[in-house]
């Protein structure tokens, strides 16, 4: 692939005719980086993809495999040659990298969470807020065809205003205790998706919440300051009642279900199973297991998400979910964490106005 | 009700006041006899129940348990003291007993099949036909709430005229080879329900059929002249295509499903499962087994059926399914048996007109 | 019915020798009274049933319809002629009537809730506690075949210790605002079943809870001091996390579902639908509605419950759920109501020990 | 794309040494041609793709869109520059084109059906049979993940030998009467998939069959010699009983279901629905519609199928399903057509041996 080095030369021609395309830079060449890289390369309006990583060898290797370019991380962060960045680095690095990137005017896709540490997020807001509509957060579930269909049904007023919402979000395999020093924990890494889903499905902000958490799967998690099981109860600003059930392990797969209830009945998204074969024998009726992980459950979601982002870049439109959504999900995770420690129903209202 | 006056001799009064009610005689005191006896005793318009059996001791015993009367079989058959009879004797005895009973003017409920032998059925028709609307056949599935709901949906034109119909009817446990000398076989004892369901759901007669049968479960069945597995394809008089799948054993319970297809889509009745508990584990999603037998699947159907019959007796109305339905189901079973032997698509039309 | 006149001896504990059938007195002849009356009359070990009501005419009328005796309420409460009482009067009268009945030594079946007012319940405890194992509370769902199967699966360790439990309990039709002056409200009348189910399924007590409630269906409920929608989050003494979703109306029927989650996966009881007919058309796949009310959903549960109670009376055994269960469910409802007002996570532990 | 120019040596069987990527020629540039073209271009072992069509402009247009080469049809058929051909032309042209291609030694993927006319198929067999293992037929359902999982479960002996098999195969929208002059009809174009599925799932040949067909959807189909609804009953050589229900239109989508029954119970593949959202309201429980057509139902199947074929080309292995499978499915369709006319159970055995 022949990457045009600068966005400013006017020559990012994709075909012999005159079609211009996007020049994209991807930061972070781990498994998630590869996933995004493959999605980016399938976009029809692409002129070039450059990869970088804190480990240059890793960037070079993936670049070779994908047929893309690579460049040093520092160079990428200071470049103004790109139309868009994908920030797929560890969460702790996101905010600082965003601050470096946005002055170039480029769009940024930032994997979730925006950060694990509200202090650094809050500190960065003055620099980032002017670019809020160019910063998309990686809440991929909004792009899952099932969740998107649920949202459409809600918007179509199938059930009216949501009165009660229930989200289940459970991982298949719990992390090893040893790996937890790198983890922002159940609320910041897993439940954060559900906090975002809640705001999106309710089309509203959370006014207050209480989170009960415990280490029920393995008490050793508690000894290193983690919980493995959480139930969060929340209230929207119009009184809607929300419940989120999180767990780090099921014995049966990646459990991601939503049920919304209102005057018009209830809408639910179950776990799809594939392949879809039933066996009936003396023990009853059996269907094979659901997907074991997010990769098997949401493969289309990533492609659709990245396509939507690059389409917005191409058209110069506003992205969604954006910086505000990333901020709010992290803020709710922070409040849930505080509630989980204090045992108090805490307000989530205050910071809402920051982005009004 | 047009009760024959001479039947009202004396004592069959239930309360001291003046409530008149039905005087019922039940022939056959085996398991099915007990089942019907209990249903009859729950009817609100009953004045008395008398039991008889070829074995008087069996009649006395059941009469004692149910709190009913008993009387000798010969006396019952020649009596004109009863408003209604239930004939729950072995199938080979049905026709002869019906011929003896009907001149009394009493209604008769006759368990299915009407008979196992078309020659004797045909021979009895001149005697029975004048009473066709007072002779109800024990096709209990018409009274099952699920099947009745299916029929209502068809009548409500949910799918239009049925174009394709599929019935599955499989027993849980195959009979022992030793017990088969008493069995009229898969087509006359099991499939006969499905032949009746077909006529009822189509609201039409069968014009032709082909039956493929084999002993696939146990080749010893073939050695005593029986098949254990049959697939029957039929055509209604308006071209509707019907398939019936029968088997003498499943490993998973009593499998009784219907699916009707037409211009308006498809209607289906699955097997209900009770209790309704799901378990999801590493092997997938599991639901407990379905009912093991007709007794667990259709308990309400017997009560509703017997109530409908006794209501018709009380009101003097016509019963349904009646003698004609019993005749036609046996006739189709006979034709299926012939087709199964000849490998030919055979006509079912000829005898249809007998009841026109 | 031949009512055995005596039973006046001090000892009501029946032995195989003297067992002659139970003499039962039913207080309250409304719709629920009739339901229990019919269940009682189907019991095999009954010698007589007497009905009474604050309105003697109502007692006489139902007695006539059921073929039972009647007697004045005051006489019933002071009699010692009965083996067992069914207290199916308004909840506000339960406690006082129990206090009057128990000195006779009779067993008492008391409809839920034990009372609507913790002060009167607490005041009566010294008088009632000695008879705790003879007082059964009407938590009928424990006897529903589906819920009982769920409990068996939990006891069989299918999923291990419950880590997360979710109960949905929603009525079909919300009460009129006018009728609310007689209602103890959503928490005391509806959710009380779920508080009992929780204790029973967890086999544990609740240590703390938070309840969020609102009038989302109709703001007029709030104007008369009621909520119509509640979500309650609770923790068991071993850290188990529980969520209960209550609502006074669905558009789709009586919604009663349970899902238990643990190391061995998840167990769930959905809403059964009957009749079970599916229709597939251009709009998709459709199944008919679920039961509209508790009567259609739990008919067997009442019969099984009343049979279990009368069996315990006959054998002289302890009943379950008993007075303690009735007390605890009301206590939890009381605490939920307080939490709903205060917005605080409240302890449920203190009173637990009263019955230790 | 850099097409490797040579491949002109006599031997097309690739070895690990000389493997440089496959040179593929695609005949037929309609919708199906495009679908295959896109699948081919995603294969990792491709050196070049050339398109041709009876209409050169159509070939040039698609070549431009896919970034592929094009060449005249006559040149393609006489070339020996290709490792593999995809024959996606009208069915009537398949056999003649295969005869022209196979002497070059190239592998051929031939869309189903092999032909619509048994005489021409039989006439071509002497020329084609030597290359049977290099000619893959487009029975894509074998590669559908659900059907493939069903096959694995059968091979794993989950239910033992199949005793009864039922296949439903119904199109969403019936063809216009006007378009039927180009159609080989319901049995040759739709049911042919089911005849192949049957042989594959049974791992056996069909010994005899009867087909009932009618124009039930639209009598005008009959006036131009077509049926729109068919039920076919078949028997495998070991007595297995098979039923296939075909229709040209449903009101609800593309209905493709299989149910296999044996001693170990039953295995079934239902219609998947996507997106998977349920709505429960006063009318009951609703799930959105299933896929409307083969394209939405089996997208993965085409990619997996074409990949399997190209993998076989690359490794020099035998393809499956092959020429024999194509022959047999057409032969069964032919016999079904004859049976549908004669009303006779016809043998399918004779030709079976041709390929023994």
- Looking up tokens 């139309």 gives A83
- Report the residue from C284, C285, C289 with minimal CB separation from D282: C289
Which residues of D fall within a CB distance of 8 Å from C281?
251-252
pLDDT at C6 over 60: no
How confident is the prediction for chain B on average, in pLDDT? 91
CA–CA gap between residue C245 and residue A245 (Å, rounded): 13
User: In this structure, are residues C279 and C294 in contact, taking their beta carbons and an 8 Å threshold?
Assistant: no
Q: What share of chain A is helix, strand, coil (3-state, %, to 5)?
A: 40, 25, 35
Q: Is there a domain that residue C249 lies in?
A: yes
How confident is the prediction for chain A on average, in pLDDT? 91
Mean pLDDT for the stretch of residues C15-34: 81
Q: What share of chain C is helix, strand, coil (3-state, %, to 5)?
A: 40, 25, 35
Mean pLDDT for the stretch of residues D94-105: 97
Does C230 contact A at CB distance below 8 Å? yes
Cβ contact C252–A266 (<8 Å):
yes
Q: Label residue A11 by pLDDT band (50, 70, 90).
A: very low
> Residue B181's pLDDT is what?
86
Cβ contact D240–B216 (<8 Å):
yes
Q: Label residue D350 by pLDDT band (50, 70, 90).
A: low
CA–CA gap between residue B7 and residue B344 (Å, rounded): 51
Same domain for A178 and A327, yes or no, is yes
pLDDT in tens, D120-163: 999 999 999 999 999 999 999 999 999 999 999 999 999 999 99
* Number of neighbours of residue D307 by Cβ within 10 angstroms: 17
Cβ contact A265–D276 (<8 Å):
no
CA C104 to chain centre: 24
User: In this structure, are residues D31 and D62 in contact, taking their beta carbons and an 8 Å threshold?
Assistant: no
User: In this structure, are residues A168 and A245 in contact, taking their beta carbons and an 8 Å threshold?
Assistant: yes
Which residues of C fall within a CB distance of 8 Å from D288?
283-284
- Report the residue from B268, B277, B282 with minimal CB separation from C149: B277
Same domain for D133 and D164, yes or no, is no
Same domain for B15 and B28, yes or no, is yes
pLDDT in tens, B223-240: 999 999 999 999 999 999
Q: Is B225 exposed, middle or buried (0-12, 13-18, 19+ CB in 10 A)?
A: exposed
How confident is the prediction for chain C on average, in pLDDT? 92
Please tell me which chains touch D, using 3 or more CB pairs under 8 Å as the contact test: A, B, C
Using a pLDDT cut of 70, give the percent of chain B over it.
92
Structure tokens at C267: 């167990």
CA–CA gap between residue B200 and residue B162 (Å, rounded): 12
- Between the alpha carbon of residue D157 and those of residues A147, A267, D263, D267, the distances in Å are 37, 39, 10, 11
- Per-position b or e across D81-94, b if 16+ CB within 10 A of its CB: bbbbbbbbbebeeb
Query: Strands A46-52 and A22-27: what pairing?
Result: parallel
Mean pLDDT for the stretch of residues A323-350: 94
Cβ contact A287–B284 (<8 Å):
yes
User: In this structure, are residues C51 and C59 in contact, taking their beta carbons and an 8 Å threshold?
Assistant: yes
Edge-to-edge, what's the strand order for the sheet holding D84-87?
D69-70, D46-52, D22-27, D84-87, D107-110, D135-137
> Residue B182's pLDDT is what?
81
CA D282 to chain centre: 43
pLDDT in tens, B177-204: 999 988 889 999 999 999 999 999 999 9
Min Cα distance C189 → chain B (Å) is 26
Same domain for A130 and A146, yes or no, is no
CA–CA gap between residue C7 and residue D93 (Å, rounded): 97
Cβ contact C285–D283 (<8 Å):
no
pLDDT at D244 over 80: yes
* 3-state class (DSSP) for residue D49: strand
Q: Label residue D20 by pLDDT band (50, 70, 90).
A: low
User: In this structure, are residues A319 and A133 in contact, taking their beta carbons and an 8 Å threshold?
Assistant: yes
pLDDT at A275 over 80: yes
Nearest CA in chain A to C212: A241
**Exposure on the CB side of residue C195, measured as CA atoms within 13 A:** 33
- Looking up tokens 């940024």 gives A108
CA–CA gap between residue D256 and residue D197 (Å, rounded): 11
Min Cα distance B275 → chain A (Å) is 11
Same domain for C202 and C342, yes or no, is yes
Mean pLDDT for the stretch of residues A35-59: 96
> Residue A356's pLDDT is what?
35
Which residues of B fall within a CB distance of 8 Å from A252?
280-282, 284-285
User: In this structure, are residues C165 and C232 in contact, taking their beta carbons and an 8 Å threshold?
Assistant: no
Same domain for C183 and C249, yes or no, is yes
> Residue C350's pLDDT is what?
54
Q: Label residue D3 by pLDDT band (50, 70, 90).
A: very low
Min Cα distance A10 → chain C (Å) is 50
Q: Label residue A223 by pLDDT band (50, 70, 90).
A: very high
Cβ contact A247–C231 (<8 Å):
no
What is the tally of structural domains in chain B?
2
Which residues of C fall within a CB distance of 8 Å from B264?
281
Domain boundary among A106, A140, A174: A140
Cβ contact A146–D264 (<8 Å):
no
Closest among B237, B116, B244, B136 to B180, alpha carbons compared: B116
- Among A184-193, B342-351, D185-194, name the one with the lowest average pLDDT: B342-351
Same domain for C199 and C82, yes or no, is no
Q: Label residue D183 by pLDDT band (50, 70, 90).
A: confident
* Number of neighbours of residue A293 by Cβ within 10 angstroms: 12
pLDDT in tens, A96-137: 999 999 999 999 999 999 988 899 999 999 999 999 999 999
**Exposure on the CB side of residue D2, measured as CA atoms within 13 A:** 2
Q: Label residue A3 by pLDDT band (50, 70, 90).
A: very low
Same domain for D130 and D149, yes or no, is no
pLDDT at C51 over 50: yes
Find which of C275, C286, C300 to mutate to test the B interface (most B CBs within 10 Å of its CB).
C275
Cβ contact D243–B241 (<8 Å):
no
Cβ contact A284–B288 (<8 Å):
yes
Does C235 contact B at CB distance below 8 Å? no
H-only helix segments in chain D: 31-41, 56-66, 73-78, 91-101, 118-128, 145-155, 185, 191-202, 219-223, 294-297, 299-315, 323-342
Min Cα distance C315 → chain B (Å) is 23
CATH number at residue A237: 3.30.360.10
Same domain for A110 and A163, yes or no, is no
CA–CA gap between residue C96 and residue C115 (Å, rounded): 10
CA–CA gap between residue B45 and residue B218 (Å, rounded): 48
Which residues of D fall within a CB distance of 8 Å from B161?
216
Domain boundary among B104, B125, B140: B140
Could you give the angle at the alpha carbon of A182 between the alpha carbons of A176 and A188, nearest 5°?
95
Closest among C16, C172, C12 to C80, alpha carbons compared: C12
**Cα dihedral: B315, B318, B322, B328 (round 10):** -170
pLDDT in tens, B121-163: 999 999 999 999 999 999 999 999 999 999 999 999 999 999 9
- Report the residue from B146, B276, B282 with minimal CB separation from C146: B276
Q: Is there a domain that residue B26 lies in?
A: yes
How many residues in chain D? 356
Q: Is there a domain that residue A316 lies in?
A: no
CA–CA gap between residue D103 and residue D98 (Å, rounded): 9
Nearest CA in chain B to C150: B277
- Among A93-97, C20-24, D193-197, name the one with the lowest average pLDDT: C20-24
- Report the residue from B164, B242, B247 with minimal CB separation from D163: B247
Structure tokens at C44: 């095999």
Using a pLDDT cut of 90, give the percent of chain A over it.
88
Mean pLDDT for the stretch of residues B5-33: 62
pLDDT in tens, D65-99: 999 999 999 999 999 999 999 999 999 999 999 99
Which residues of B fall within a CB distance of 8 Å from A287?
284-286
- Report the residue from D208, D216, D240 with minimal CB separation from B163: D216
Q: Is there a domain that residue C234 lies in?
A: yes
Q: Is there a domain that residue B35 lies in?
A: yes
> E strands along C176-225, which residues?
206-214
Using a pLDDT cut of 70, give the percent of chain D over it.
92
Residue B166, strand partner residues: B243, B259
CA–CA gap between residue A165 and residue C268 (Å, rounded): 18
User: In this structure, are residues D30 and D46 in contact, taking their beta carbons and an 8 Å threshold?
Assistant: no
Using a pLDDT cut of 90, give the percent of chain D over it.
88
* Number of neighbours of residue D219 by Cβ within 10 angstroms: 10
For B127-144, the DSSP string reads: HHGGGGGGEEE--GGGGS
Residue B49, strand partner residues: B24
* 3-state class (DSSP) for residue D48: strand
Same domain for C8 and C131, yes or no, is yes
User: In this structure, are residues A188 and A264 in contact, taking their beta carbons and an 8 Å threshold?
Assistant: no
- Report the residue from D233, D247, D345 with minimal CB separation from B163: D247
Dihedral sign from CA coordinates of D46, D50, D54, D57: positive
Q: Can you give the C-alpha Rg of chain D in angstroms?
A: 21
Q: Is there a domain that residue A164 lies in?
A: yes
Domain boundary among A123, A140, A157: A140
Q: What are phi and psi of C47, to 5 degrees?
A: -105, -30
pLDDT at A250 over 60: yes
CATH number at residue C56: 3.40.50.720
Dihedral sign from CA coordinates of A223, A224, A225, A231: negative
pLDDT at A19 over 60: no
Find which of C149, C204, C216 to mutate to test the A interface (most A CBs within 10 Å of its CB).
C216
Q: What are phi and psi of B183, to 5 degrees?
A: -100, 135
- Among B233-242, B276-285, C1-10, C290-299, name the one with the lowest average pLDDT: C1-10
Q: Is there a domain that residue A309 lies in?
A: no
Same domain for A169 and A260, yes or no, is yes
Q: Is there a domain that residue A224 lies in?
A: yes
Can you give the residue range of the structural domain that contains B199? 142-296+322-353
Find which of B163, B198, B211 to mutate to test the D interface (most D CBs within 10 Å of its CB).
B163
pLDDT at B349 over 70: yes
Nearest CA in chain D to A267: D279
Min Cα distance B51 → chain C (Å) is 22
- Between the alpha carbon of residue A303 and those of residues A14, A38, A90, A299, D297, the distances in Å are 21, 9, 21, 7, 20
Cβ contact B274–C272 (<8 Å):
yes
Min Cα distance C198 → chain A (Å) is 16
Which residues of C fall within a CB distance of 8 Å from D280?
252, 290
Same domain for A226 and A272, yes or no, is yes
Give the D window 262-291 contacts with C, CB below 8 Å. Answer: 273, 280-290
CA–CA gap between residue B234 and residue B340 (Å, rounded): 13
Mean pLDDT for the stretch of residues C280-309: 94
> Residue B105's pLDDT is what?
96
User: In this structure, are residues D135 and D102 in contact, taking their beta carbons and an 8 Å threshold?
Assistant: yes
pLDDT at D64 over 50: yes
pLDDT in tens, B287-303: 999 999 888 899 899 99
Structure tokens at C213: 């409630």
């Amino acid at each position: 692939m022949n990457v045009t080095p600068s966005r400013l030369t006017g020559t990012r021609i994709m075909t012999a005719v005159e079609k211009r395309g996007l020049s994209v830079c991807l930061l972070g060449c781990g498994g998630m980086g590869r996933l995004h890289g493959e999605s980016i390369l399938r976009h029809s309006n692409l002129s070039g993809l450059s990869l970088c990583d804190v480990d240059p060898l890793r960037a070079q290797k993936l670049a070779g495999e994908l047929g893309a370019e690579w460049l040093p991380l520092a160079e990428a962060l200071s470049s103004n040659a790109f139309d868009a960045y994908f920030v797929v680095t560890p969460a702790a690095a996101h905010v600082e990298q965003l601050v470096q990137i946005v002055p170039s005017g480029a769009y940024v896709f930032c994997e979730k969470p925006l950060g694990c540490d509200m202090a650094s997020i809050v500190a960065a807001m003055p620099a980032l807020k002017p670019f809020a509509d160019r910063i998309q957060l990686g809440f991929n579930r909004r792009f899952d065809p099932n969740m998107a269909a649920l949202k459409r049904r809600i918007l179509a007023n199938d059930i009216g205003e949501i009165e009660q919402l229930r989200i289940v979000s459970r991982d298949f395999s719990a992390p090893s205790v040893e790996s937890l020093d790198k983890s922002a924990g159940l609320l910041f890494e897993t439940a954060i998706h559900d906090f975002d889903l809640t705001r999106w499905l309710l089309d509203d902000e959370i006014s207050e919440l209480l989170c009960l958490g415990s280490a029920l799967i393995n008490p050793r998690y508690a000894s290193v300051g983690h919980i493995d099981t959480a139930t969060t109860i929340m209230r929207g600003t119009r009184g809607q009642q929300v419940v989120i059930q999180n767990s780090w392990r099921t014995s049966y797969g990646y459990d991601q279900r939503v049920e919304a209830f209102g005057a018009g009945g209830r809408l639910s998204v179950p776990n799809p199973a594939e392949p879809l074969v039933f066996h009936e024998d003396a023990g009853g009726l059996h269907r094979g297991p659901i997907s074991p992980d997010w990769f098997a459950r949401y493969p289309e979601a990533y492609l659709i998400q990245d396509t939507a982002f690059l389409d917005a870049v191409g058209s110069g439109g506003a992205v969604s979910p954006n910086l505000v959504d990333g901020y709010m999900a992290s803020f709710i995770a922070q409040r849930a964490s505080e509630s989980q420690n204090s045992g108090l129903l805490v307000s989530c209202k205050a910071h809402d106005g920051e982005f009004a």
